[in-house]
Amino acid sequence: MSRTFRDLSDPEEERANRYSYHSPSEAGVVKHARLSVLFIELEGEIASLVPAGREFSIVKTKLEEAKMWASAGVARNPDTC
């Protein structure tokens, strides 16, 4: 799979991209759904190894954060879909 990185060297364009709504393409919707499945499975696997408590709570928070960033990467770069 060939990946390209959008050149956002213009600070104004970069800011606009960061704070704008990015409606997903059909391919983007598929990628978002796949990411959701992967993160659900990963949390389940981790839950089978790590007991409930503060540490697992932090794991869940960080997984949510990672999922949001992964989704942002898909949404903000529609040319890669």
2-16 tens-digit pLDDT = 455 566 678 888 888
**pLDDT higher than threshold 70 for residue 80:** no
Residue 80's nearest CA partner among 23, 4, 13, 9 is 4
Number of domains in the chain: 1
- If phi > 0 it is left, if psi is from -120 to 50 it is alpha, else beta; for residue 67 that is alpha
Range of the domain at 72: 25-80
Please check whether residue 16 lies inside any domain of the structure: no
| Cα dihedral 43/37/66/75 (nearest 10) | -170
Q: According to the model, what pLDDT value does residue 2 have?
A: 45
Q: Give dist(CA 2, CA 30) in Å, integer.
A: 17
Report pLDDT digits (tens) over 1-54.
445 556 667 888 888 888 888 888 899 999 999 999 999 999 999 999 999 999
Please check whether residue 62 lies inside any domain of the structure: yes
Please check whether residue 3 lies inside any domain of the structure: no
- 25 phi, psi to nearest 5 deg: -75, 175
